[in-house]
Structure 1
Amino acid sequence: MATPPPPPPPQSGPGFTGFPHQQQPPGGAPGFGPPPGLPSSPGLPSTAPGLPPAPGGGAGGSGPAGGPGGSGRRGGNLRRNTVWAFVGALLASVVWSGAVALVPSLVKNHPTAQDLHGYHAIDKICATGKLAAFRQKYKMVDNYPLEHTGRNSSMDTMRCYALMKRTVSGNDTPDYATLDIRVELHKAVDPAPEYTATRDYLQQQKYEITDVPNLGQEAYYAYGDEPTSSDRTYHDINYYLQVRDGGMTFSLYWTDNYQDGKNYTLDRDSVRRAMLDDTRDILKAIGGT
């Protein structure tokens, strides 16, 4: 396990959520990988697996620490997790651009803004929403979660990024996971076309899509499991919970990884239950019922 880097400085400087600045890898700006079936970004070294898409602003990606024949998991490297946070804001625009390209007619047919149903911006959604379900299973890494709220006459945005660690009995390598939450209050447009386009995008990338009843006007859960590019015994696992209620859109993205025959991550049902419980708490904290 690589020695964790020093904790990030206080939130400051340019960029969404004030995440720490990162050194650019050789060849250009920090890269991020595409969903399955799309070419890799040249920004990351060839040994690093790509980062998955995060609708509404996600971050993720993981892989082995040593490649074939190595030991440990690259997903436990805190420095890479911090890079994920840095590129998280970029992922939102990339995924949205891909979704709009797939379903362009949706954007043109729904121009009217929707009621916000009582939702309002708060300064710290994770602190107020507690994240009680995930905190029962993981411990927050120092100085996390990172939180930011932006207010604008057209849209308010709330963002929370968390890096978490779980000690697994009988295993020297902790299980690291990331949680990325984004809430947008659309005041000038109807977000329904974007929401539908993002769902179609994930479905076309072979994610498993399941409707979630009794959560907002519409909600779905998406799950993807794919081998990394460097060693196919290692897998990236990506979970999304997307909710729309009038002009409010919510996205929770959780990611981890595992190696075949050495599954140190939480089981799928446990993750899904934690996502649902914490999502309901956050939506209630920002005015939902």
Structure 2
Amino acid sequence: MATPPPPPPLPGQSGPGFAGFPQQHPPQHPQQFPPATAVPGFGPPPGLPASPGLPPAPGGGGPGRRAGNLRRNAVWAFVGALLASAGWAGAVAVVPRMVTSGSFPQSVRGYHTVDKLCDAGKLTKFNQNYRIVDNYPLQHSSRSDSMDIMRCYALMKRTVSGSDSPDYATIDMRAELHKAVDAAPEFAATRIFFEQQKYEITDVRNLGQEAYFAYGDEPTSSDKTFHDINCYLEVRDGGMTYSLYWTDNYQTGKDYTLDRDTVRQIMIADSRDVLKAIGGP
């Protein structure tokens, strides 16, 4: 069977194709590829519309193809320049926010790492109200290029007036020297956590750059007469963060513990001594 001739050009397409290119027709046989001379020149990326408004190049031969290529290259070079400009403008807008986002570490000032945090601070006020249980405190420290960590954990007891059983309380003290990141955002997030947990929060003056005391008193789920008390003193001074956690419990009408203001004063006084012992003002 003879292969039918290619369809005639549509009205208005009898001349050269886009930007001076000759009209392309399907191959005469299914497996026949168009000759190399019929491959279009450089054009817009797939999926993008052709550039409007470009006049056709004069003639449909070689010179027209070169003119079309030049025009197309010029158009898409211009588009690329616009895209590059947009990307650069976005980077210029984003980079200052990255630089000023507080991601850089703050100075740890005169603070330094000690091996035994509780021993350095003496815990004078706590020792006036409690006796530390044998084999305590537990004290550990670590040093690295990114952060130094000091921690002290102690179990304490005292005999409560009007009660036959001793009252046990625990403290957990931790100091960190942040060398790789800014500790301020996470310090602020910790305060938000206490606020969301409905802790009573009061600011503490003249202790580091910022400090606060968080107090929580909650009945246990099993017996509403039993209460757990949780107190936190949080301090940040430059790249140093410090946390002192004290917890105790009592039963309404029977067992008692230290009142909130007394605990607050003890925690602040002993923490001042600890921070001075590791290089604070």
Q: TM-score, normalised by structure 1?
A: 0.62
Deviations 1:75-127 (A, max 9, x none): xxxxxxxxxxxxxxxxxxxxxxxxxxxxxxxxx93211001110000000101
Q: Which secondary structure does the structure 1 equivalent of 2:176 belong to?
A: strand
Letter in 1 for 2:216: G
1:185 and 2:177 are equivalent in the alignment? yes
- Other-structure match for 1:284: 276
1:224 and 2:216 are equivalent in the alignment? yes
Q: Give me the whole-angstrom Cα distance separating, in 1, the residues matched to 2:119 and 2:178.
A: 23
* Structure 1, unaligned runs of 5 or more: 1-107
How far does residue 270 in structure 1 lie from its aligned partner after superposition? Answer: 1.2
Q: Give me the whole-angstrom Cα distance separating, in 2, the residues matched to 1:185 and 1:217.
A: 14
- Other-structure match for 1:213: 205
The number of aligned residues is 184
Q: Give me the whole-angstrom Cα distance separating, in 1, the residues matched to 2:101 and 2:194.
A: 21
Which structure carries more relative contact order (alpha carbon 8 Å, separation 6+)? 1
**Larger of the two Rg values belongs to structure:** 2
Check the 8 A contact 2:248/2:257 in 1, yes or no. yes
Counterparts of 1:73-84 in structure 2, within 5 Å, are none
Letter in 1 for 2:140: H
- Other-structure match for 2:113: 121
Deviations 1:37-68 (A, max 9, x none): xxxxxxxxxxxxxxxxxxxxxxxxxxxxxxxx
Counterparts of 1:88-127 in structure 2, within 5 Å, are 109-127=101-119
Counterparts of 1:244-259 in structure 2, within 5 Å, are 244-259=236-251
1:234 and 2:226 are equivalent in the alignment? yes
Q: Give me the whole-angstrom Cα distance separating, in 1, the residues matched to 2:256 and 2:135.
A: 24
% identical equivalent positions = 70
Q: Give me the whole-angstrom Cα distance separating, in 1, the residues matched to 2:192 and 2:254.
A: 33
Deviations 1:111-169 (A, max 9, x none): 11001110000000101110000000000000111000010110000000000000123
* Structure 2, unaligned runs of 5 or more: 1-99
- Other-structure match for 2:76: none
- Other-structure match for 1:133: 125
Q: Which secondary structure does the structure 2 equivalent of 1:136 belong to?
A: helix
Kindly report structure 1 stretches of 4+ aligned residues shifted beyond 4 Å: none
Q: Which secondary structure does the structure 2 equivalent of 1:244 belong to?
A: strand
How far does residue 268 in structure 1 lie from its aligned partner after superposition? Answer: 1.3
Q: Give me the whole-angstrom Cα distance separating, in 1, the residues matched to 2:197 and 2:121.
A: 31
